Amino acid sequence: MNIILLGGPGAGKGTQAKKLVARLGVPQVSTGDMLRAAVAEKTDWGRKAKEFMDAGKLVPDEVVIAIIKDRMSLTDATRGSILDGFPRTVPQAQALDRLVVDIGRTIDHVISIEVDETELIGRLCGRRTCKACGQMFHVQHAPSRETGVCDACGGELYQRDDDNEATIRSRLATYNEATRPLIEYYRGKGSLRPIQGTGTIDDIFQRIVAIVEPGR
Ligand code: ADP
Ligand code: ZN
């Protein structure tokens, strides 16, 4: 089962992707996480990618499409994947459409998590992320039990380099310009399933489950 999660920065794609992984037993494929790993390894293009990311801009399509091709070809993804943060542009979506045909897969659901901009800004400014496992917290809405320590694994919590107000504004502008057209792209294909992205994490998850496991 291949599921695409769409939504602005801070819409909750990563949080819901992790819950879907636990439920469906297929891996999360997050271009953001894979890019941050490359940045941490300080490879040549990891350094290059960091410039785009810190500016709130998109990493070039060729780079992320190549990353996705490699990732979707790994054996753990043969039963499916939860795509979080990819595609983010119409050319990426077209490349994905070709890729799934090439490797004999299908996209089963495109779920758009809808959250308005003021809410997104508040979420991102207070977001803290676990360095070890990627679990996310929010200083006001979802604090960890112990400040700076991950509830899930005891890892250290940090504020992502791009979770500052200037970069957040630029990420939102990039989203509106480059990623929003994808909503129309998938609506046009008849595969878009919008859901309300506010409420508790479990409320939102139930909306997603109702789509991916209808009749349960
Ligand atoms: P968020 O969804 O919270 O904005 P991500 O962790 O998904 O954050 O992505 C962080 C940054 O990584 C993006 O702002 C962008 O620079 C880069 N990135 C992630 N996915 C893609 C993609 N599919 N295409 C281009 N750039 C990407
Ligand atoms: Zn952790």
Q: What is the pLDDT of residues 93-137, one digit of tens each?
A: 999 999 999 999 999 999 999 999 999 999 999 999 999 998 899
State pLDDT tens for residues 155-197. 999 999 999 999 999 999 999 999 999 999 999 999 999 999 9
pLDDT computed for residue 44 by the predictor? 85
Mutate to test the pocket of ligand 1, among 84, 162, 174 (most ligand atoms within 8 A of CB): 162
CA distances from 57 to 53, 98, 158 (A): 6, 25, 21
| Ligand minimally distant from the alpha carbon of residue 135 | 2
Pocket of ligand 1 (CB under 6 A): 9-10, 13, 31-32, 35, 52-53, 56-59, 64, 85-86, 88, 92, 162, 171
State pLDDT tens for residues 78-100. 999 999 999 999 999 999 999 99
193 catalytically annotated: no
206, containing H or E segment: helix 201-212
Spatial separation of the C-alpha atoms in residues 78 and 164, rounded to whole Å: 37
Protein residue with its CA nearest to atom 12 in ligand 1? 32
State pLDDT tens for residues 20-50. 999 999 999 999 999 999 999 998 888 999 9
Q: Is residue 30 a contact partner of residue 203, using CB atoms and an 8 Å limit? A: no
Candidate list 127, 128, 193, 207, residue with the active-site label: 127
Candidate list 13, 18, 19, 128, residue with the active-site label: 13
Q: Is residue 54 a contact partner of residue 40, using CB atoms and an 8 Å limit? A: no
| Ligand minimally distant from the alpha carbon of residue 35 | 1
Q: Is residue 126 a contact partner of residue 139, using CB atoms and an 8 Å limit? A: yes
pLDDT computed for residue 86 by the predictor? 97
State pLDDT tens for residues 196-208. 999 999 999 999 9
pLDDT at 216 over 80: no
Spatial separation of the C-alpha atoms in residues 97 and 201, rounded to whole Å: 30
Protein residue with its CA nearest to atom 9 in ligand 1? 32
Q: Is residue 62 a contact partner of residue 9, using CB atoms and an 8 Å limit? A: no
Output the pTM of the full model.
0.91
Q: Is residue 108 a contact partner of residue 56, using CB atoms and an 8 Å limit? A: no
Q: Is residue 83 a contact partner of residue 29, using CB atoms and an 8 Å limit? A: yes
Spatial separation of the C-alpha atoms in residues 214 and 157, rounded to whole Å: 36
171 catalytically annotated: yes
